Amino acid sequence: TYRTDSHPSTKYNWKRTNGALGYSEVTITWDIERDAPSGTYRITYYGDYKNGWTGKISAFTGQTGSFTVS
């Protein structure tokens, strides 16, 4: 792990896309610093969702493809 959501270079934006169905989207950005180590990275998001029928809360994970910083 190089950066987490508490670091000022990372931004998290949540947007409701369908109120009736409870859909939403998350956009995560990383403003890569000039002194960031070169390498291959992925951004991973760990979230939870609530089932609208049962109220059960379940975890999910989202991940970008690999990208290179040089």
For residue range 23-32, list pLDDT tens digits in order.
Answer: 999 999 999 9
Q: In this predicted model, what pLDDT tens digit does every residue of 27-63 receive, in sequence order?
A: 999 999 999 999 999 999 999 998 888 999 999 999 9
- Give the predicted TM-score (pTM) of the model: 0.80
The structure tokens 């989202």 sit at 62
